[in-house]
Amino acid sequence: MSIAVEALSYAWPGSAAGVRGIDLSIAQGEMVAVIGPSGCGKSTLLKLIGGFLAPDAGRVKLGGRDATALPPRRRDLGIVFQAYALFPHMTALQNVAWPLSLRGVARAERSRRAAAMLERVGLSAHAGHRPAALSGGQQQRVALARAMVFGPKALLLDEPLSALDAALRVAMRDEIRRLQQDSGIATLHITHDQEEALSIADRVAVMREGRILQCAAPRDLYARPATRSVAGFVGHANLWDATVLDARTLRTPIGLLAADAAGFAPGSAVAALVRPERVRPGPAPDGVNHFAGRVARDRFLGSFRRLDLAVAGGTVVLETASDTSPEAVHIPQEAVQVLPAD
Amino acid sequence: MRHGTPPSLLAALAVPGAACLSLFFLLPLGIVAAESLAGGGAGYARLAARAEFWTGLRNTLALGVTSGLVSVAVGFAVALHLSRMTEARRTALLLLVSLPLTFSGLIVAFGFILAWGRAGFFTLSLQALFGVDPASFARFVYSPQGLAFVYAYFLIPRVVMLLLPVLVNFDRAQLAAAESLGATRLRALAAILLPQVAPSALVAFCLVVAVAFGAYGTALALVGSGQANILPLQLFTMVSDAGADWPETAALALVLTALCSVVMAAGEIASTRREAAHASGA
């Protein structure tokens, strides 16, 4: 079943925060991740879809039917909350079986189905334990099992991995993706972790100040961000304010930059984007987009290093697998993207 | 390197409390216990032989349990409401809620007489508005049932104080989760919130029941020593009597003390067991 929101707006009382005119659709079996800085409205969006808030305007559709006025209990959505919201007075099995008891499933049947669901998330051995006796990862699995055991129409995940340590987070995000794909269920995944979003979602929506700036497949979002804000939020980036001199040249704080600026009028203010992995160490063979400098910061990141090269007028960030520290870099013209200034 | 307060200092700090406990609780209790056993415990036999004692015990239990139930029910609702407020607003209202605790039982009784007595404001208002007979209506306030509601007035703040921290710390996302899983608001409260508040509610209930068992000032002022047969008033009458049967009076005092202690201990044990089960996670 699909999820769709149309022109959805909500303003928190006495605050400018909220969401404004959100349009988003998630097809059956698709996972859409929503990322954005704190306060951008991503959790508000989830609350509106979940029925915990009534929108000021717009509609929420589930499976093509208007669900805007339905209370949470009648939306049939599986929701995993940020801190899991497990019931501490119930065992893992009781937690997972509870939604089935609400649906009148007989005791034996709900125990069987809850046990099967716990087995799917690899927690059979902990069925009799209360949440207090489970690790963060195990609690997260119980929350996921509880949200999926009754066959919800769609799944909403509210930063479900934020309470886990880094190693467990990576393992659990793969687990979530596997379960979501096995179930073929439309899923909205709210997260502040762009790496998490890019690695498991079919599409990623970037929000800022209550609006969706861009929603695209992870590769497209990374390779072709629509705005400077999106480029800055998704992945690492060299972003410079620039002025278009002509169709092939930009003026930036670090000097002239050869780029394809054909779509922009001369004199217009733009942003120049270069991903760090597209910056080449060493001097330019043809002298184009060549910048000399010295390494101001060197970060070892395992298989590569991220370097800040201090150049005249600014900094160029590059990523390289080389052990040597360059004294100059060059930027291939095709690596420069020209974006409208925000 | 050693950390913490030296044991000698800890012991010194405990001395004033221990001295007060010994002088004003253990010593009098010991004297009363010894007095009750004078004559080979005949005081207990005389007490048990009096039908008035058994009626008083039943009334005391009924009064304590009724006022306890009313107080927990109302106190829970008040605490739940307060827990949803901002901290500043909650603190301000909590001051108002705790005000009855600062009043003596006599003041509470006079307050009720002024409000709900035969010539009380509300009684006369009800007469003016609905033609209610003031004498019949006021009889309720002066009855043991009415006494239970008067007691609730100063017991409710105690319940609020005990339940509020639990409700403030309760993770409300659990209720949202319950509703998203298909529960009505009422079902979510009953199945998710109540079981988690129950241990504290039980402790609060036992505490206020024990307080109600021992309270006599309000009852004395409202109904007088002869009109409500409850154990604290029996004890008051016996102590006031110049020719009192001291072994029997001491026996009654110990029965009342034991009653309060048993109720308090039962609440604590039940609550501790429940919390231990939670902590173990099993």
Count how many Cα atoms sit within 13 Å of the Cα of residue A232 in the half-sphere of its side chain: 16
DSSP annotation of A53: S
Residue pLDDT, tens place only, A150-181: 989 899 999 888 777 777 778 778 888 888 88
Q: Say what the pLDDT of residue A325 is.
A: 83
The whole-number average pLDDT for the span B140-167 is: 86
Indicate the range of A167-176, A330-339, B182-191, B260-269 predicted with least confidence: A167-176
Q: Which two tokens stand for residue A90?
A: 């119930």
User: Which residues in chain A are classed under CATH 3.40.50.300?
Assistant: 3-228
CATH level 3 topology of A3-228: Rossmann fold (3.40.50)
User: DSSP letters along A182-250, please?
Assistant: HHT-EEEEE-S-HHHHHHH-SEEEEEETTEEEEEE-HHHHHHS-SSHHHHHHSS--EEEEEEEEETTEE
- The C-alpha of A77 sits at a distance from chain B's nearest C-alpha, in angstroms, of 7
Sign of CA dihedral B252, B253, B254, B258: positive
Closest CA to B215 of B165, B158, B267: B158
- What percent of chain B has a predicted confidence (pLDDT) above 90? 40
A279: DSSP letter: P
Summarised one tens digit per residue, pLDDT across range B53-104 is 999 999 899 889 999 999 999 999 999 999 999 889 999 998 888 888 887 7
Give the mutation candidate from B172, B181, B189, B192 for the A interface (greatest A CB count, under 10 A).
B181
Higher per-residue pLDDT: B276 or A188: A188
In degrees and rounded to multiples of 5, residue B250 shows phi and psi of -65, -40
**Closest partner residue to B180 among A50, A133, A134, by Cβ?**
A50
B177 interface with A at CB cutoff 8 Å: yes
Chain A residues whose C-beta is within 8 A of a chain B C-beta are 50-52, 71-73, 75-79, 81-83, 85-89, 98-99, 102-103, 128-134, 146-147, 150
Mean pLDDT on A94-115: 93
Q: What is the mean pLDDT of residues A245-260?
A: 90
What is the SS3 assignment for B7?
helix
Q: Output the DSSP codes for B183-218.
A: --HHHHIIIIIHHHHHHHHHHHHHHHHHHHHH--HH
Q: What is the pLDDT of residues A125-137, one digit of tens each?
A: 899 999 989 988 8
- In B, minimum Cα distance to A151 occurs at B181
The average pLDDT across B216-234 equals 78
pLDDT over threshold 90, residue A215: yes
Domains of chain B: 41-280 (1.10.3720.10)
Lowest mean pLDDT among B59-73, B129-143, B246-260: B129-143
Return mean pLDDT, chain A.
89
Confidence of residue A272 (pLDDT cuts 50, 70, 90): very high
Q: How far is CA B18 from the centre of its chain?
A: 25
As a whole number of angstroms, the distance between CA A179 and CA A304 comes to 32
User: CB-CB: which of B171, B181, B196 is closest to A99?
Assistant: B181
Res B279: pLDDT: 61
Whether A311 has a pLDDT exceeding 70, the answer reads: yes
Tokens read off for A200: 């498991």
Q: Give the residue from B145, B163, B165 showing the smallest Cα distance to B73.
A: B163
Q: From the list A87, A146, A150, which residue is nearest B192 (CB)?
A: A87
Give, for A29, the enclosing helix (H) or strand (E).
none
State what percent of residues in chain A have pLDDT above 90.
50
Cα A209 to Cα B45: distance, rounded to the nearest angstrom: 80
> In this prediction, does ipTM exceed 0.85?
no
Residue B226: pLDDT band by 50, 70, 90 thresholds? low
